[in-house]
Structure formats: structure tokens, C-alpha cells
Amino acid sequence: MEAIIEKIKEYKIIVICTGLGLLVGGFFLLKPSPQTPVKETNLQAEVAAVSKDSVSENEVKKEEPVEQDLITVDVKGAVKAPGIYDLPVGSRVNDAVQKAGGLTEQADSKSLNLAQKVSDEALVYVPTKGEEAASQQTASGTASSTSKEKKINLNKASLEELKQVKGLGGKRAQDIIDHRETNGKFKSVDELKKVSGIGAKTIEKLKDYVTVD
């Protein structure tokens, strides 16, 4: 009888130990293992990469030089470094002069409008002192001698002859030819006012160089 009781005790001990073992093993098996948030880590990495690329693009944009519209002018006369220069659009005569090294001691700044805007392909000429008076005398002498020379006949002159007339360019000369062919001969020099682009002041100047039948 005692032997049976001893066996029952041993059996209970075995059962209890087995149950405890199962409980402990089950606890460790069922305990959730810590997982690395892979998706969240990858998302953070992508955001960081995009931010870095944005910063790089902004830096590149800042480093890129801003293109500026330029005009080209020819600076001549009484300046220290005559030549052809590029200037920003909207520049003045003074800017062109400064670009050419500034005025010389012989420059006549009184006859020069330094505040005037310059355009592309413009000629900026700085006269020397006394040059303006001399040029006026020369122009006066030329006008007198020209008036004595034979004037160009508006009704017979060719395009090339009209282009040589002072105050007329190729465009106006062609307009005169076209008007003459369309409307017939000019009856007087004053009829030039019917030609596009020729005003009263221009006609007064042209009277020294042209005539009609």
C-alpha cells in the first residue's frame, strides 16, 4: 500500500513538473518578439533622400547665373578706351562712357547728354572741345557749296541717286520712287509730304538738294 502511495506521489510530481515545463515553454513561445519597423524606417530614408535632393536642386539654382539682356554699343571720340562694349538694357550714355574708361581731358561734356538712354547697335560719340563749332562751320560751308551744285530731280532721279541725297535713306528713296510711279510726277518739292515718313522739317532741308521739272 505504501508503495502504491509513493508511486502516486511520484506520478503527481512528474505531472506537476511536466505542466510547469509546458507553461514556461508556452510563455516563451507565445511572447511576441520585438520587430523592427521596416516600412517606417524605409519611409524615413526616402523622405530624407527627397529632402536632400530638394536642397541640392535649390543650391544648383542659386549657383546658376541669371542671364541678363545686353545691348552692344560703339563708343568713340574723346574717351580713354574707345571700342565696342556690351551694356545692360536701359543703360545711359554715361554708362557707355564709363565702360570706355571715362572722358578724356579734351572731351566736351557740355555738348553730350549723359542721361540719354542708348539702344542696341548705337554709336556713342564724345566730341572734343571746339569740335562742335568746327563741324557747324563745315556743315554750313558744305550746304552752301551743295546749293550751287546741280540738284537731284525728283521726277528723273534713280533710286541710287536719291539714296545719295542728304537726309534720305534707302527706305525713303524707295518710297519716293514708289509714289512717283503710282501718282505721277511731283509738281513741287512740297509734295514730298505725301510720302510716308517725310515731314515739313525734312522737306525744308531737302530743298537744298532736290528739285522738280
Element (H, E) at 126: strand 123-126
87 contact partners, CB below 8 Å, separation of at least 6: 70, 71, 72, 73, 95, 96, 99, 118
Q: What's the pLDDT score for residue 143? A: 47
**Which stretches within the chain are classed as H helix?**
2-30, 38-63, 93-99, 131-148, 159-163, 170-183, 200-206
Q: What's the pLDDT score for residue 6? A: 65
Q: What's the pLDDT score for residue 62? A: 53
Q: How would residue 147 be classed by pLDDT, with cut points 50, 70 and 90? A: very low
Q: Return d(Cα 16, Cα 179) in angstroms, integer.
A: 128
pTM: predicted TM-score of the whole model, two decimal places: 0.35
More confident call, 164 vs 91: 91
Q: Which residue has the cell 517606417?
A: 40
The answer to whether residues 118 and 91 touch, using CB atoms and an 8 Å cutoff, is yes
Q: How would residue 86 be classed by pLDDT, with cut points 50, 70 and 90? A: very high
Burial of 211 (0-12, 13-18, 19+ CB in 10 A): middle
> Could you report the per-residue pLDDT of 8-28, keeping only the tens digit for each?
666 667 767 777 767 766 666
> Could you report the per-residue pLDDT of 182-206, keeping only the tens digit for each?
888 888 888 888 888 888 888 888 8
Q: Return d(Cα 207, Cα 151) in angstroms, integer.
A: 9
- Which residue type does 150 have? K
- 134 has pLDDT over 70: no
Q: What's the pLDDT score for residue 87? A: 94
104 contact partners, CB below 8 Å, separation of at least 6: 78, 79, 80, 128
Read off the pLDDT of each residue in 115-141 and give the average, rounded to a whole number: 72
Q: What's the pLDDT score for residue 35? A: 52
Share of the chain above pLDDT 90, in %: 17
More confident call, 46 vs 72: 72
Q: What's the pLDDT score for residue 144? A: 43
> Could you report the per-residue pLDDT of 37-60, keeping only the tens digit for each?
445 555 565 655 555 555 555 554
212 closest CA partner among 185, 182, 173: 185
In order of their start, the domains of the chain are 70-131 (3.10.20.600), 150-211 (1.10.150.310)
